[in-house]
Structure 1
Amino acid sequence: MRFKKYLSLTIVLVLILTALTGCGKKDAVNDTGSQESEGQVVEKPLDSEQYLNLVMVAEPSTLDASKGSDSYSNGILNEVLEPLTRLEEDEDLKNVLRPAGASEWTHNEDGTVWTFKIRDAKWSDGVAVRAQDYEYGIKRSLAQDTAAPYAYLLAPIKNAAEVNSGQLPLEELGVKSLDDNTLEITLESPTPYFLQLTYQRVMMPQRQDVVEKHKDKYGSEIDTLVYNGPFTITNWVHNSEIVLTKNDNYWDKDIVKLNSVNIKILNDENAIYNSLSNRSIDSSGVGKPEWIEKFKGNKDLNHIEVTNPQTFFKFFNTKDKVFSNANVRKAFALAIDREELANVIFHGINVPAYGWVSPNISIGDEEFRSVSEEPIRKLAADNPNPKALLIKGLEELGMDTDPSKLTVKMTLGSTDQWFRTYGEYVQQMYNKNLGVNFEVEFVEWPVFTSMAEKGEFQIGYMAWGAEFNDPISLLSLLKSDAGSIQTGWSNERYDELIDLASKEMDPKKRLEYFAEAEKILLYDEAVLAPTVYPKYNIFRYKYVQNLGVTPFGTAGYKYGFTQGR
């Protein structure tokens, strides 16, 4: 059921400039904009005109919640539709799941049947929001003919795989409306991360009458859409601008302070940075080191650094003779100086990666990386000489143990200059640290994905981001039935651990399962070699308040406002 979702690094390395994050710990602000300071209330009125000017580097591919797969469409959908829940932030910037389209929910004793009470609300055209709208949205995302790219996220729902493959009709899916205000979802088995799916686009409400009226055009223009979120779209000039306007029919409209959010679509970095510099826009991600340093010196800007829940990594073809050996894979995993790579190639912007699960992913109430050992660090500590591992591996393979007689090739899915610089740098690392003849070939991304699927490579390189806030989002990608990252590797114990973790409700036991699985993946078998976690630098004018900070957060612009523009 899982769809293959390669992330082209050409896309990954493009800046995320959509103002996804905020400016550190939020001040305590009451509804009038007053700030509380050590028991005293200091009057600081909101600006009389409440608006934001922001930027995106590309426009949404579609605003059809079932069919979209890009971050741009997802960002807009979070502003104009109301999912069952929203992942928001408390005062300590920890993610908190809060009621949204559902006012409350309950589940049976074993957590397999969930009941959501849909709050009284209206769509932007005045029609009542009903449980049937959520039911229809979920079923449409799983319908085989929709071909929703993220349908696999709904796998925990009863009969989801069979419905998505066409083996069972939609009526057999474990989703039904008991009445206009009650939605019942039945799962295949207890699923500890199920609530993390309730704010995903594939579970957003959709109006059946609107979808059927506009058919293939649904989501392509504003006159094909209705909205039940904090904002509506009042203007969409393709590849130029999207204007969001406060939705007066929104159930929580009194908390929404912004009257409009004007989003320019620009893909020229210098144009974006100049717009930020001259205040044409209020916030932007910044990727060029020289601009980062320039903006750091601007006292009117807040600087926010966010480590994204995403991992850049090398992956080995375990069906290849050389890389069928674990010690060879370990040697190539260790012969990378991650600190140097982060500083030289990524200009100190990104963070060295020593685990597969990236930062900002939680297990229970704690960040996974803060409570789980980093396997690559342990592998390096136990094996200070990667070249010795390589020689040992070659001996086990019955090959010549002289590394200088070994030729290995890495394939990169881009031909642009950044990748050529990266390839040359990695080539120097492997020549120096392992003494092998290391070659790099550059192909376009579609060619690369085809080669990977056919197993026509030795070492590949790409990135993957977590879809939701749980370690299983990344660790499940390496299950033998996932078909996501083409390593050719399978491990029965690894599969068993992921299956156990997918049903275990105790966070401590889940942590044990995940830690063992990650150890098998990186320390025992070295199937992957994580390199860096991407870190985004966002600069935002200080008058912008109360936008979200955390990468998974879906509060969007709902609580935003300006003071002192």
Structure 2
Amino acid sequence: MKKVIKLMTGLITAGIILTACSGGGQKKSEEQPMQLMSASELTTLNTSVMLDFPDAIVQTAAFEGLYALDEEDEIIPAVAKELPEISEDGKTYTIKLREDAVWSNDDPVTAHDFEFAWKKMIDPANGLVYSFLIVETIQNGGEISNGEKKPEELGVKALDDYTLEIKLTDAKPYFTSLLAFPTFFPQNQKVVEEQGDDYGTASDTVVYNGPFLVENWKQTDLSWDLVKNDKYWDKENVKSDKIHYEVVKEASTALNLFEDGQLDVATITGEIAKQNQNNEDFHSYPTATMNYIRLNQTRDGKDTPLKNENLRKAIALGIDKETLVNNIIADGSKPLYGAVTEGFVSNPATGQDFREEAGDLMTYDKEAAVEYWKKAQAELGEKVKIELMVTDDGSYKKMGESIQGTLQELFPGLTIDVKALPTETALNFGRESDYDMFLIYWTPDYKDPISTLKMLYSGNDRNYSNPTYDQLLDDASEKYALEPEKRWETLIAAEKLVIEETAGMIIISQNQQSVLQNPKIKGLNYHTFGAPLTLKNVALED
């Protein structure tokens, strides 16, 4: 979600609103299903072309990979029978699959389904966004992506129906956690080929192997249902028979529905969150999702003003994160002073948190910001105009307008145009590098600092490139792959270079998921990477 999400940007911050009809104040019929509400649309059921966080949540409910996350964010076997057998050099993974997993059309789920899906993902003819995760990890992925080798040569092979062998380019300490991400889920080749271009565009164009089936959905729909999958191997531990989704884009609407008894959980932000912090139904869940500003250096073949390092540093130092987070976001989120979020990953030797050890980078400094602005003006001219793209979800437009006002006042001659777009549209513009600045969210795909830091490795959609930075990431991935402490030190140095020394992107905040929640709702499992929420265990208890 870099990433896009990623991308991969933050789903939780995109405002996923979890709800159930019997919650809040007034009671509803016991026959009515639990209801969950999303702040943006579901775009696809094709795990190869996942775009945004709602896709990740629904796909993780409807499909299942080799591994999943428990309530403590620990990796647990799913379609795999057990954790992988890893070779001494860390490059070969052998995984045994359970033999009782089946698709909803009764086909067995086999190692061939994983091999097929991953080779489809890496095929450059398909141009799939998340193929970079395979390029970065699996043997021959980069060469296939560049057209130098064929997809059939990817380092993944079904040794038999229930044994999968994976060969990596280098040891990747995080690789097992990556296998819980939807990109690495299996696909039924027969159904994919039968459906062709229609695969994943509607609920009846796919088959499922996860806890739920999706019903009553096609692209552009604003509602859908999740129904318990009776053919799922672990159906006894699926707590809900049916969940209904509706898209609700305004947190204020969600609050009203909660108070009216029509929702069981409402995500709240801004002033609403501040006003409800003493409400007995108020809950706040930590996340590894951050809000940040992408700085694009080349657009339509021409350099943008953000190519200028002094301008990037002026903007980064001129944003008062404390004021922005406390007065505009105001949902319990925290200002963030680095790309790796607090509480996400710790030093393998000492247990010290990455953020604590790496320290605060690019803290608010009005005087230094003005000095950098003057240097930028000397190089770019007295007047500089920049577009700031934001999504129309949650508080992003308000955040963008606050940043616009603050920076234009601080830097005479600077004009910032705020452009608010639907999330899917904005993410597509981002992927095509058709923007100047883009305020968006990001959630790591897997549990490692490099999941976020890799965003600015050369060849990215922000057109940032720094050979020293690339070398640090290469060293962390290759040279020190089996030396955890040296790898850790190298990643800290890389973050300092990209955030403080070159201002490659601007970090704003680390999100909290603030909600009003009926105490009858149990089993909502929030996560700091991968899909931010899993639904297998969610239930509305009496």
Q: TM-score range by the shorter chain?
A: 0.7 to 0.9
Deviation at 1:550, TM superposition (A): 2.4
Check if 1:522 corresponds to 2:499.
Answer: yes
Check if 1:79 corresponds to 2:61.
Answer: yes
Q: 1:310 to 1:132 in 2, by over 3 A?
A: same
Q: 1:140 to 1:440 in 2, by over 3 A?
A: same
Deviation at 1:228, TM superposition (A): 1.4
SS of the aligned residue for 1:147 comes to coil
Check if 1:127 corresponds to 2:107.
Answer: yes
Kindly indicate whether the alpha-carbon contact (under 8 Å) linking 1:410 and 1:440 is maintained by their aligned counterparts in 2: yes
Check if 1:410 corresponds to 2:386.
Answer: yes
What's the TM-score once normalised by structure 1's chain length? 0.79
Matches of 1:442 and 1:8 in 2, distance apart? Answer: 22
Matches of 2:441 and 2:107 in 1, distance apart? Answer: 42
Deviation at 1:187, TM superposition (A): 1.0
Check if 1:266 corresponds to 2:248.
Answer: yes
Aligned pairs (5 A) from 1:192-271:
192-236=173-217, 239-267=221-249, 269-271=251-253
Q: 1:353 to 1:426 in 2, by over 3 A?
A: same
- How big is each residue's C-alpha offset from its partner over 1:175-222, in whole Å with a ceiling of 9 and x where there is no partner? 110001100011112122211221122211111111111111112233
Task: Tell me which residue corresponds to 2:89.
Answer: 110
Task: Tell me which residue corresponds to 2:362.
Answer: 376
Matches of 1:367 and 1:514 in 2, distance apart? Answer: 13
Matches of 1:84 and 1:448 in 2, distance apart? Answer: 28
Check if 1:502 corresponds to 2:477.
Answer: yes
Q: 1:532 to 1:180 in 2, by over 3 A?
A: same
Q: Which amino acid aligns with 1:560?
A: V
Q: 1:99 to 1:540 in 2, by over 3 A?
A: same
Kindly indicate whether the alpha-carbon contact (under 8 Å) linking 2:35 and 2:244 is maintained by their aligned counterparts in 1: yes
The range that moved more, 200-209 or 142-151, is 142-151
- How big is each residue's C-alpha offset from its partner over 1:300-322, in whole Å with a ceiling of 9 and x where there is no partner? x2412434422312637499798
Q: Which amino acid aligns with 1:468?
A: Y
Kindly indicate whether the alpha-carbon contact (under 8 Å) linking 1:311 and 1:356 is maintained by their aligned counterparts in 2: no
Check if 1:358 corresponds to 2:344.
Answer: no
Check if 1:345 corresponds to 2:328.
Answer: yes
Kindly indicate whether the alpha-carbon contact (under 8 Å) linking 2:270 and 2:327 is maintained by their aligned counterparts in 1: no
Task: Tell me which residue corresponds to 2:462.
Answer: 485
Check if 1:98 corresponds to 2:76.
Answer: yes
Q: Which amino acid aligns with 1:407?
A: K
Matches of 1:436 and 1:312 in 2, distance apart? Answer: 24
Q: 1:476 to 1:343 in 2, by over 3 A?
A: same
- How big is each residue's C-alpha offset from its partner over 1:26-49, in whole Å with a ceiling of 9 and x where there is no partner? xxxxxxxxxxxxxxxxxxxxxx98
Cα RMSD after superposing both structures: 3.8
Task: Tell me which residue corresponds to 1:36.
Answer: none
Task: Tell me which residue corresponds to 1:179.
Answer: 160
Q: Which amino acid aligns with 2:468?
A: R
Q: Which amino acid aligns with 1:229?
A: G
Check if 1:64 corresponds to 2:46.
Answer: yes
Matches of 2:109 and 2:455 in 1, distance apart? Answer: 36
What's the TM-score once normalised by structure 2's chain length? 0.82
Matches of 1:483 and 1:140 in 2, distance apart? Answer: 22
Check if 1:282 corresponds to 2:268.
Answer: no
Q: Which amino acid aligns with 2:453?
A: L
Q: 1:316 to 1:331 in 2, by over 3 A?
A: farther
SS of the aligned residue for 1:281 comes to coil
Q: Which amino acid aligns with 2:164?
A: L
Matches of 1:133 and 1:262 in 2, distance apart? Answer: 29
Deviation at 1:442, TM superposition (A): 4.0
Q: Which amino acid aligns with 2:239?
A: K
The range that moved more, 316-325 or 545-554, is 316-325
Kindly indicate whether the alpha-carbon contact (under 8 Å) linking 1:52 and 1:260 is maintained by their aligned counterparts in 2: yes
Aligned pairs (5 A) from 1:405-554:
406-413=382-389, 425-426=402-403, 429-430=406-407, 433=410, 436-443=412-419, 461-480=439-458, 482-487=459-464, 490-503=465-478, 504-552=481-529
Q: 1:100 to 1:149 in 2, by over 3 A?
A: same
SS of the aligned residue for 1:146 comes to coil
The range that moved more, 539-548 or 234-243, is 234-243
| Unmatched segments (≥5 aa) in structure 2 | 20-29
1:146 corresponds to which of 95, 108, 126: 126
Rg comparison, structure with higher value: 1
- Percent identity of equivalent pairs: 29
Matches of 1:139 and 1:224 in 2, distance apart? Answer: 21
Matches of 2:267 and 2:209 in 1, distance apart? Answer: 28
Matches of 2:330 and 2:153 in 1, distance apart? Answer: 52
